[in-house]
Amino acid sequence: MKSYHWQNPNWPHFVYDMSGLEPDLLNYSERIAAFRGIASAVNETFQKEFLTCFMVSEALKTSEIEGDFVSRIDVQSSIMRYFGSTSTPPIKDKRAEGVSRLIWDVRKRFKGTLSQEMLWEWHTMLFSGVSSSRHLDIGQWRTSEEPMRIISGVIGKLKVHYEAPPAAQVPAEMTRYIDWFNATAPGQPQEIFFPPIRAAIAHLYFESIHPFEDGNGRIGRALAEKVLSQGSDMYAWVSLSEAIMENRKQYYAALKEAQTSLTITKWVHFFVKLIIEPRKKPKNM
């Protein structure tokens, strides 16, 4: 079995160097300030229309990354209903409704602390429309004794990219994760002052535990968005899912490498640039 960072006695004490990221972090701060100015200058109707388009796109992209192609019409109807519209078409695709509800909840509750209950609620939202034939454990940590592995290839030639901690360790790991998440939030004792840095760690940390049977990618991206929103004290206008889709190969390669060591400088630099330059392929680190 390969050696992964969660097997290190010092887990989960990540080590990283921010040198060279100063221009990117300044760029991010300036972008947030610009969005804040625009938001305060336009009327409420325009804000709702723009935000609806942004959230629809994010819901579609975060699903597409997982190979789950949901109905754009149903996603749009769901988001518009959350904004109070009563003249939207009936929603047929329950998966679309679920991911839309997740995106909406992240926006509405980004200021609140993270909890086990919130994560379980997000998981339930995502899979409320899943066929019962999948026998998926919804709204709880994974319990299967089978190893949780990220694999590729065909039967007989499968390649294991990563193996997460055993299910028996997940409750304790997630308690520690939630404590870390809340302790590093703005104004808290262990605050990480740069939101993109905290988002990079929060995403990697969660994906490494892989606490759910399915849906870890979508919830992991939602957590990164919650971090960015908390850091700017406004809903983050950053489409992480779009950025990942446009740099998918590099993203998975960087994640795989980061899950072998507690020194995560390359991952942090990659992820920050992914956020700052969402439509440009980050330079190889």
d(CA 37, CA 31) in angstroms, rounded, equals 10
At CA 141, angle to CA 140 and CA 147, rounded to 5?
A: 140
Residue 160, H or E segment? strand 159-163
Tell me yes or no: is domain 5-41+141-276 CATH 1.10.3290: yes
Pairwise CA distance, residues 148 & 162, whole Å: 8
pTM above 0.85, yes or no: yes
Q: Kindly tell me if the per-residue pLDDT of 31 is higher than 60.
A: yes
Look over the chain and give the mean of its residue pLDDT values, rounded to a whole number.
Answer: 89
Report DSSP letters for 46-69, one per residue: HHHHHHHHHHHHHHHHHHHHTT--
Q: What is the pLDDT of residue 133?
A: 45
Section 248-272 average pLDDT: 96
Closest CA to 80 of 90, 70, 93: 90
State how far Cα 227 lies from the chain centre: 9
187: left (phi over 0), alpha (psi -120 to 50) or beta: left
Q: How far apart are CA 257 and CA 242, in angstroms?
A: 22
pLDDT for residue 132: 53
- Each domain of the chain, given as residue ranges in start order, spans 5-41+141-276
Q: Distance between CA 39 and CA 272 in Å, rounded?
A: 24
Predicted confidence (pLDDT) at residue 236 exceeds the cutoff of 80: no
Render pLDDT for 120-163 as a digit per residue (tens, 0 to 9). 999 999 998 665 546 788 999 999 999 999 887 667 677 889 99
pLDDT digits (tens, 9 = 90+) for 158-217: 788 999 999 999 999 999 999 999 999 999 999 999 999 999 999 999 999 999 999 999
List residues bridging with 162 in a β-sheet: 150
